[in-house]
Amino acid sequence: MLETTRTYVARITNHTQIRDDLDECGFAASKLWNVGRYYIQERWDEDGEIPDEAELKSE
């Protein structure tokens, strides 16, 4: 299977207008990441397996 990864680069010219919204998005993404990592670590400690994508999404 061929996999393609793309990276987009953007320049924000009105940073002062959207700074608070960007900060909130970053904070929310950080929280989601931490919850996912905590859940994976708990599962790893219990049964030595990392949950699959479907299980993580269901949580």
Structural domain contains residue 7: no
Structural domain contains residue 26: yes
Structural domain contains residue 9: no
Band of pLDDT at residue 1, cut at 50, 70 and 90: confident
* CA pair distance 26, 5, nearest whole angstrom: 22
**Count of the separate structural domains present in the chain:** 1
pLDDT digits (tens, 9 = 90+) for 20-50: 999 999 999 999 999 989 999 999 999 998 8
pTM, to two decimals: 0.61
Structural domain contains residue 1: no
Is pLDDT at 59 greater than 80 in this prediction? no
The residue segments making up the domain with residue 52 are: 15-57
Instruction: Give residue 21's Cα distance to chain centre.
Output: 17
Q: What is the pLDDT of residue 17?
A: 92
Structural domain contains residue 31: yes
Structural domain contains residue 45: yes
Q: What average pLDDT score do residues 4-26 get? A: 91
Structural domain contains residue 41: yes
DSSP codes of every residue in 5-21:
--------S-HHHHHHH
Structural domain contains residue 6: no
